[in-house]
Amino acid sequence: MNRLIARWVAVLIVLAGLAGRMLIADELRAGAAVIDVSPRILPAIKNGGFTEATADRVLDPLYARCLALAAGDQTLVLAIVDSCMIPRELCDQIKQQVSQQTGVPANNLLIAATHTHSAPSVMDYCLGTRADPNYPPWLVDQVAAGMVAATKQLQPAQIGWTVIEAPQHTHCRRWLRHPDHYDLDPFGQRSVRAMMHPGYQNPQYLGPAGPVDTQLSLLSVETRDGRPIGLLANYSMHYFGADQFSADYFGDFAREIERQRQPPNQAPDKPPFVAMMSQGTSGDLHWMDYSQPQKPGYPREQYARELAELALAALPKIDYQRDISLAAAVTELKLRRRTPDAARLAWARELNAARGENRPRNLPEVYAEQAVWLDQNPEATLLLQVLRIGDLAIAAIPNEVYGITGLKLKGQSPLQPLLNMELANGAEGYIPPPEQHLLGGYTTWPARTAGLEVEAEPKIVEALLKLLEELARKSRRPLEGDFYDEQQRRAIEAAARGG
C-alpha cells in the first residue's frame, strides 16, 4: 500500500510540474516597435485618386507600427502600415524576411494598410496610378525591420480589450440616387443608382445605401506593472485626406494617444509606447454626415483628437489578463474577376490606342486601361486570415469591405469581440454584397480595385466564418436581421426588377 501511495504521489508531482510549465508557457509576452516608412526619394507617385499624381513633401511621417505577442509556442506579429494599399506580393516578401529572421511562421504574420490616401503608390493599376519605381523595395525592408524589432522587445505583459460605440465619427458615404436622377457610368450606361459622396443634403439623393459599423475596438497591452506597451485601435472610417504625403488621421490618432499615455521620465533604455489605428470595414463609410449641413472648418486633427479622447476614456475600464492562448489560421480563396465582353474590350482598346503612352486622364480612359488588365488577369487568389487572442479575434481581409459585411461577420463570429481589418495581407479591391451590385456606382465598376465576381462577398464571409469556427472550436452564432432599413430594401428590390 505504501509503495502504491508513493507511486501516486510521484505521478501527481510530475503532473503538477507539467501543469506549472504549461501555465508559464501560456504567460503573455509582448513587444512593440515603430519604424519610419516615409519616402526617401521625392517627388514620388501618390495614389488615392482616379488619376496619377505626385507629391514632393512629407507633411507628417509615415510609419509601420508593429505589435508582437507570444504565449506558449505561438507568436503573432502585426504591422499597421501607413499605406493606401499593399498588394499581396509585397506582403509575402515582407513575411518571408520576417520569418527568416525570427522563425515566426508566415501564417502568424499580419500586414494591414491604414488606407491613407496620401502615401506613395506601391501597386500598379491602382485605378489610373502606377507603383512608384523607387518606393516598394524600401517599404518592404522597413516594414520587415519593424516587425522583427517588435519581436526583440518581447517582455512579460498583460492584455485586455474593450469595444465602445462612436457613431458621430463615421457615416455611410454611399447614397441612393433619386430615380429621376440615375447617372451614367464610365461606359455610357445609366446604371448609377447609388454613388459615393452625394454632397450635403443633396435633393438628388434619398439617403444612405447601407448600414454603418460604429464600433471603436481597443486592444491594450501593458507590462505587468502597468506601463503601456502598445494600443491597437480598429475603426471603420475611410480617410480624411491631404495633398502631400501624410499618415492622415491614423497618424494623428496614434500621436495623440502616445502623447497622453507615454510614461513621464521614461528611462532611455525602455522601448517607447506604440499606438496604432487600423482600418475597419469602411468601404462605404466616411466621416461626413451628408444628412446634415456641412461642418465649417472641421480639421483632421480635431477629428482624430475626438476619437482619441473616446479611446482614452474607455481604457481604464479594461480588465487585463496575463495568461492567454494565441492561434492563427489562414485559407486561400480563388475567385473570378468580372472580365470585359468583346464589345467592352473593343471600346477599351480603341481608347487605349488613342491615349498612346500618356497616363489616363479621365474616367473612361482609367476604366479602358483597367478592362485590358482584367481581361489578362481573369482570376485572383485571396489570402484570408484569422488571429485569435484569448476570446478576441481579428479577421484580416485583403479587400475594401462594406460596413454591412463587417456587421455580418461580427454578428456571427463565435469569438467575441471581433476586429475586422480590411486591406490586410493584400489588396484585392472592393467587395460589395451581391445586392449592392444592383445599385451600381464607383465601387462596382470593374477594375483591379473593384473587379471580383459578384458573389465574392458571401464567399469571403463564409471562408472567414469557417476559420473563426476552427479557432473557436464552436459554431458560429445565428445572424439576426439583414441590417437594411425599409428605404434601402425598397431601392434594392426596385433595382432587381430593373426599375
pLDDT single digits (tens) 218-262: 999 999 999 999 999 999 999 999 999 999 999 999 999 999 998
What is the per-residue pLDDT for 9?
38
**CB count, 10 Å around CB of 346?**
12
| CA end-to-end distance (rounded Å), the chain | 88
What is the per-residue pLDDT for 20?
35
Neighbouring C-alpha atoms within 13 Å toward the C-beta of 28: 26
Burial group, residue 142, by CB count within 10 angstroms (0-12, 13-18, 19+): buried
Q: List, for residues 364-418, the tens digit of each pLDDT value.
A: 999 999 999 999 999 999 999 999 999 999 999 999 999 999 999 999 999 999 9
Q: List, for residues 287-311, the tens digit of each pLDDT value.
A: 999 999 998 999 999 999 999 999 9
Residue from 273, 289, 351 nearest 34 by CA: 273
For residue 17, pLDDT beyond 60: no
Q: List, for residues 307-359, the tens digit of each pLDDT value.
A: 999 999 999 999 999 999 999 999 999 999 999 999 999 999 999 999 999 99
Q: Residue 428 — very low, low, confident or very high, per pLDDT cuts 50/70/90?
A: very high
Rounded CA gap, 16 and 66, in Å? Answer: 36
Q: Is the dihedral of CA 286, 288, 289, 291 positive or negative?
A: negative
For residue 56, pLDDT beyond 70: yes
For residue 208, pLDDT beyond 90: yes
Q: What are phi and psi of 80, to 5 degrees?
A: -105, 115
Q: Residue 26 — very low, low, confident or very high, per pLDDT cuts 50/70/90?
A: confident
What is the per-residue pLDDT for 499?
75
Mean pLDDT of the residues in the chain: 94
